[in-house]
Amino acid sequence: MKHFLITLSAILATSSIGTILAAEEKAADTANFISIQPEGMKNLGIQYAEVDTMDFERTVFAIGNILEIPKNHARLSSRFAGRIVKLHAFEGDFVKKGDVLLSVESRQPGNPPPVIELKAPGSGLVFTSHVQLGNPVEPSTEMMDIVDLSTIWAVAQVPEDMVSKMKPGTKAHIRIPALGDEIIDGTLLRFETKADSQGATIGAIFELNNEAIRLRPGMRAEFSIVISSREEVLAVPREALQGDAANRVVFIKHLELPNSFTRMPVATGESNDRYIEILSGLFEGDEVVTKGSYALSFSSGGGQSLKEALDAAHGHEHNEDGTKTEKKEGEEGHSDSEEGSSKSIDTLTLFFGATSAILLIMLIISGIKISKLSQKNQ
């Protein structure tokens, strides 16, 4: 009999907990609903990203600079003395190998003195010019620097203890502040020959394509160097995540209602320069807010509740928790949302109560039968 009473207590406790959890879940759905007016959507600039699995990269951050490749740097000079009588190219011009850059009047006797044309030793940008019209020229004079910037180096200063985790071919996502938020992928070529003993760092040289010549030597660069990668990891863009470390949330696009969102608590894992791993709270295919997410977390919305938004969308009454209001035949539907919500919870409570009562009766009957059978056996 004791066994049956314990079983009964467990069933009743489970029924009560189920009722409480169901009520709490509905209350949470209502509290986490946000509706925005169309004008507010434009003001916030809302953009979405679909939740998906990916190869999740573990990265380390470093800073550095853009440098020219030494072999792509050429200097213009003269083999004889004279003076400059004409300039054909200026600092900032792009030239091709063989283009005439300067005309130099020789000091050799003649009437007029012979004029020699100096041509570009290579193609590229006239990076610096050291001469002006009329300047004297000597064989030792460096007149112009021509640099081919179609490929350049991005050099990251990485801690010495990272060297063992990197090898030629290692990838890096490189952000150049001068280009905004654009990310350029680079490949590790090699390390510099000397380390910085004071900073305990060494230069890691990444080669970048720069055919558009947007990158210039000296520009600052930020590196996210890929150390390892895991497959099939559920992740979202970093800008989608809001809240503090103890309460991480994202905003999911509502499946039914336009301009509406659900604030969804999530558990997170590792993060890198662009993505954050999601351990629970989201599913593949969910659409999370990226741009506008931060502003949305402070938005007061459009003043619409979940009930009001569903009423407008579906054309019939709903309870505060979003469930449809049940109307009895011949009676008018109640507009009091609190009463509708209470009825929904009372119905659920009645169901669990009735079930528990039936189980109690069955258990008592079974206990009586077992008791009588025991007495007969004695």
- As a three-state string, the secondary structure of 349-367 is HHHHHHHHHHHHHHHHHHH
Closest CA to 342 of 317, 325, 363: 325
- Dist. CA 236–CA 251, nearest whole Å: 11
Q: Strand, coil or helix: what is 39?
A: helix
Mean per-residue pLDDT, 59-76: 95
Mean pLDDT is lowest, of 80-94, 142-156, 212-226, 319-333, for: 319-333
Q: What is the full DSSP assignment across 274-287? A: SEEEEEES--TT-E
In terms of pLDDT, which residue wins out, 338 or 257? Answer: 257
Cβ atoms of 123 and 95 closer than 8 Å: yes
Q: Which domains does the chain have, with CATH numbers?
A: 2-54+232-309 (2.40.420.20), 70-147 (2.40.50.100), 153-231 (2.40.30.170)
Whether a cis peptide bond, with omega within 30° of 0, leads into 159 is no
Q: How many CA atoms lie within 13 A of 263 on its CB side?
A: 21
pLDDT at 30: 65
Q: What is the CA radius of gyration of the chain?
A: 37
| Spatial distance between the Cα atoms of 338 and 321, rounded to a whole number of angstroms | 9
pLDDT of residue 11: 47
Q: How many residues does the chain have?
A: 378
Q: What is the pLDDT of residues 97-140, one digit of tens each?
A: 999 999 999 988 888 889 999 999 999 999 999 999 999 999 98
Q: Record the tokens describing residue 18, joined without a space.
A: 């189920």
Q: Does the CA dihedral 301-304-307-313 come out positive or negative?
A: negative
Q: What is the pLDDT of residue 26?
A: 45
Interacting residues of 85 by C-beta distance below 8 A, sequence separation 6+:
103, 104, 105, 115, 133, 134
* Cα gap 74→216, rounded to integer Å: 16
Percent over 90 (pLDDT), the chain: 55
> With a threshold of 0.95, does the pTM exceed it?
no
| Cis ω before 113 (30° cut-off from 0) | no
Most confident of 33-42, 277-286, 344-353: 277-286
Cα angle 54-58-63, degrees, rounded to a multiple of 5: 125
What pLDDT is recorded for position 356? 72
Q: How far apart are CA 278 and CA 169, in angstroms?
A: 29
Q: Which of these, 81, 88, 148, lies nearest to 117 by C-alpha position?
A: 88
Which of 218-222, 257-261, 286-290, 316-320 is least confident? 316-320
Residue-wise pLDDT tens digits, 343-365: 555 565 666 667 777 877 777 77
- Residue pair 80/116 in contact (Cβ under 8 Å)? The answer is yes
- Residue 297, pLDDT > 90, answer no
Residue 318 has pLDDT above 90, yes or no: no
Q: What is the DSSP letter of 325?
A: P
Q: Is 124 left (phi over 0), alpha (psi -120 to 50) or beta?
A: left
Residue at 60: amino acid letter: V
Q: Are 282 and 251 in contact (CB under 8 A)?
A: no
Q: What does the pLDDT read at residue 335? A: 44
Q: Whole-angstrom Cα distance, residue 295 to residue 274?
A: 19
Residue 310 pLDDT level (bands cut at 50, 70, 90): low
